[in-house]
Chains A and B, each alone.
Chain A
Amino acid sequence: MNPGALSYVLVSVFGVGAVVSGWLVFRTDSMLRAAYWLMVSFVAVGAMLVVLDAQFLGLILILMMSGEMTIMAIFMIMFMMNPAGLNPMVMVHQNRTAIAAGVGSFLVLAWVGLVAEFPDRPAPIDDPTAELGEELLGRSMLVFESAGVALLAVMIGAIALAAKRGRFGDADAGSVEPAIDIESSVDPAVEAVADADHADDADDHGAGHGMGHGT
């Protein structure tokens, strides 16, 4: 098998893998499984890029997504009423809008894929990573330097936030729960509204279950 045919097969395998794991994101019943299926999907896309000679881009995509998905999973679990992420829950909501958006974006992307003119005679490249470096720090230097300085500022800001003594004590002391007297200062009317909100949430959740099972 010549290298061209092999990379064709590999790209197809990883492409199918990316689509299937992307589909599984919506078929699981847990936030954490969904997040990690999404990561598998991104890893497959990164592997496609590596096969297509964009090693650096593919690997950096995998590197970024692996850390990011865990952060995302932790935040999703924090915001859901599901402390460990292991209990089953419905993962699809607003089905009609989602179907319309999905079909619409697929059609637009497919149209772009059919209409756009792709280069059919690739230029010979010795070292794709070096070529990418030339591109990033040559023509596009201003853009990437600005992004780099912004990221550096973010890192310094994170250091400043982490080092600072906060409202609830030293940064290294861990989080402390807010004082209990917040409860007693809540206005009864506000409390009633909050209760009503909770009831609405419960209704929504029930409806979501029904729709999820129905489709």
Chain B
Amino acid sequence: MTVLGVVVQVAAVLIGGAYLLAVADRLAGGGSANVLAALAHPIERASFLLLQPVTTTERPDLPAWILAPSLLAGLAAVGAVPVPIGGPSAAGDISAGLVLFGAAMLIVLVAVFIFGWAPNSAMPMIGGYRFAAMVLSIGIPFSLVVLTTAIPAESLSVGVIVESQSNLWYIVVQPLGFVIYLVTAAAIAFWGPFDLPEGADLAGGIAAEAAGPRLAMWRLAQAALMVTLSLMGAAVFLGGYHGPVLPGWGWTLLKTALVLLVLASTGRTIARMRVQRLVWFGWVVLLPLALVDVFVSGWIAL
């Protein structure tokens, strides 16, 4: 596959997945069980935001504020590149693909922090600091459980990791790792119970001052990030393109959609934690569990 092919494929998966996420979130708790209305909702919302006038604040860092949503979307795209979608021998597969994904997901912190900092306004800035506290607490468990899938496959290449799951998906060996992955992935995408940086107690937090196309881009980038995290989760824990009857890309997309819907359902069902408690939860609960996961999968691999 050519480079252009990879770009088109990633863009299609991210935009399609973002649409699915918006529809699912609307159906899950938007006050309407009407499927047609839910299907139209993302388009209505996007049209509204794109036509809305852009507001500004007093002396913002305008270039940073405008570029941060694009940085977030770009990071989502970079993280999705190493995942093989249709089968082995994807052009985006590089020997350290998992590290590329991890680096992109940690730079999300920079994009969100800048988006909160740039408007020169109190609530967005506090939201940015909240996100820094959150990600620094759950970043290590996230990286550990992602890297743990490389132990049995003996490679950091996502293609090799998926290929080595032809007999047994890693969710069977590492159920704990998959659960930690889901929790930390939702936190990195500041989604659902982890939307503290955008919390109502901060009047909208990082997005409090954003409006118009800038906010539309920010929402699209956040949804694309969720899709990338689901795509990687489906690849390294659920066997990626492996499965009977359907073609490889069908299985990849089906599993990605499944993980995405599980994550989406948490948005309206699981209660939030205070940020202090969340930081405690990251260091005291998730990190030891992630270390247990590393030891267990290392022991199994030996």
Please give the residue numbers on chain A whose beta carbons come within 8 Å of chain B beta carbons, in ascending order: 32-33, 36, 39, 55-56, 59-60, 62-63, 66-67, 69-71, 74, 84-86, 127-130, 152, 155-156, 158-159, 162-163, 171-174
User: Complex formed: what's the CA distance from A4 to B95 in Å?
Assistant: 20
**Inter-subunit contact A162/B100 (CB<8 Å):** no
Which residues 27-81 of B sit at the A interface, judged by CB distance below 8 A? 59, 61
What residues of chain B lie closer than 8 Å to A128, measured between beta carbons?
95
Interface flags, B118-136, vs A, CB<8A=1, else 0: 0010000100010010011
**Inter-subunit contact B95/A56 (CB<8 Å):** yes
Interface residue count on the B side (C-beta < 8 Å): 38
Pick the contact of B99 from A39, A56, A156 — CB < 8 Å? A56
What residues of chain B lie closer than 8 Å to A60, measured between beta carbons?
96, 99, 103
Which residues 75-124 of B sit at the A interface, judged by CB distance below 8 A? 94-96, 99-100, 102-103, 106-107, 109-110, 113-114, 117, 120
**Inter-subunit contact B110/A70 (CB<8 Å):** yes
Given the interface pairs A66-B106, A162-B284, the reply to whether A74 lies near B132 with Cβ below 8 Å is yes
Which secondary structure characterizes the binding site on chain A? helix
Given the interface pairs A84-B125, A163-B284, the reply to whether A66 lies near B96 with Cβ below 8 Å is no
Q: Closest chain B residue to A130 by CB distance? A: B95
**Inter-subunit contact A129/B156 (CB<8 Å):** yes
**Inter-subunit contact B95/A129 (CB<8 Å):** yes
Which secondary structure characterizes the binding site on chain B? helix
- Distance in angstroms from B48 CB to nearest chain A CB is 30
- Distance in angstroms from B132 CB to nearest chain A CB is 6
What residues of chain A lie closer than 8 Å to B276, measured between beta carbons?
172-174
Q: Closest chain B residue to A67 by CB distance? A: B106
What residues of chain A lie closer than 8 Å to B284, measured between beta carbons?
159, 162-163, 171
Q: Closest chain B residue to A74 by CB distance? A: B132
Pick the contact of B283 from A62, A70, A159 — CB < 8 Å? A159
Can you show 9 pairs from A to B with CB atoms below 8 A apart?
Answer: A59-B99, A60-B99, A66-B109, A74-B132, A129-B157, A158-B283, A159-B287, A163-B280, A172-B279
Interface flags, B133-172, vs A, CB<8A=1, else 0: 0011001100000000000000111000000000000000
Given the interface pairs A86-B117, A162-B283, A163-B284, the reply to whether A127 lies near B106 with Cβ below 8 Å is no
**Inter-subunit contact A32/B117 (CB<8 Å):** yes
Pick the contact of A63 from B99, B114, B136 — CB < 8 Å? B99
User: Complex formed: what's the CA distance from A59 to B107 in Å?
Assistant: 12
Given the interface pairs A67-B136, A74-B129, A86-B61, the reply to whether A36 lies near B114 with Cβ below 8 Å is yes
What residues of chain B lie closer than 8 Å to A69, measured between beta carbons?
110
Interchain residue pairs A-B with the least CB separation, the first 5: A172-B280, A162-B283, A63-B103, A174-B276, A129-B95
**Inter-subunit contact B117/A84 (CB<8 Å):** yes
What residues of chain B lie closer than 8 Å to A127, measured between beta carbons?
95
**Inter-subunit contact B106/A129 (CB<8 Å):** no
